């Protein structure tokens, strides 16, 4: 007897063969551990006017870890903070002590809001 339906070859449709599966993972555990180590080191940098560290004040907005250089984006508590230069240098030094490569600290133009740090005055 002749089968009216032609045989269909099975194809492998598993995700392992897709280009997206071969790309880097969405969450890099090593990179996140490094970011947390940098944040921990930045706790040593204290805003002299408020007596709180830059992490606790939520001044650090982003840490971008690269293989040869990294960047930390931050805001200041006031636009013309007299301690800005000192704090930027301390942040750079603390981050470089963890990462062991050059770190660029970028000051963002956005305003700091004490509510970001959980402070209500």
User: Cβ(70)–Cβ(64) under 8 Å?
Assistant: yes
Could you read off the pLDDT of 63-83 as tens digits, one per residue?
999 999 999 999 999 988 999
Domains and CATH numbers, the chain: 28-117 (3.30.300.130)
Q: Is 101 helix (H, G, I), strand (E, B) or coil?
A: coil
Could you read off the pLDDT of 26-58 as tens digits, one per residue?
878 999 999 999 999 999 999 999 999 999 999
Residue 104's CB: how many other CB atoms inside 10 A?
13
- Roughly what angle, to the nearest 10 degrees, separates helices 84-99 and 29-42? 140
User: Cβ(98)–Cβ(38) under 8 Å?
Assistant: yes
pTM: 0.75
């Amino acid at each position: 007897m002749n089968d009216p339906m032609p045989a269909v070859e099975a194809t492998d449709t598993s995700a392992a063969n897709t280009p997206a599966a071969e790309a880097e993972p969405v969450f890099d555990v090593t990179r996140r551990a490094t970011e947390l180590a940098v944040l921990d080191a930045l706790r040593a940098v204290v805003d002299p006017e408020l007596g709180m560290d830059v992490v606790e004040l939520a001044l650090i907005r982003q840490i971008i870890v690269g293989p040869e250089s990294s960047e930390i984006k931050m805001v200041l508590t006031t636009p013309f903070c007299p301690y800005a230069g000192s704090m930027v240098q301390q942040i750079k030094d603390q981050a470089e002590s963890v990462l062991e490569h050059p770190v660029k600290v970028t000051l963002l133009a956005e305003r700091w809001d004490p509510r970001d740090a959980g402070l209500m005055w």
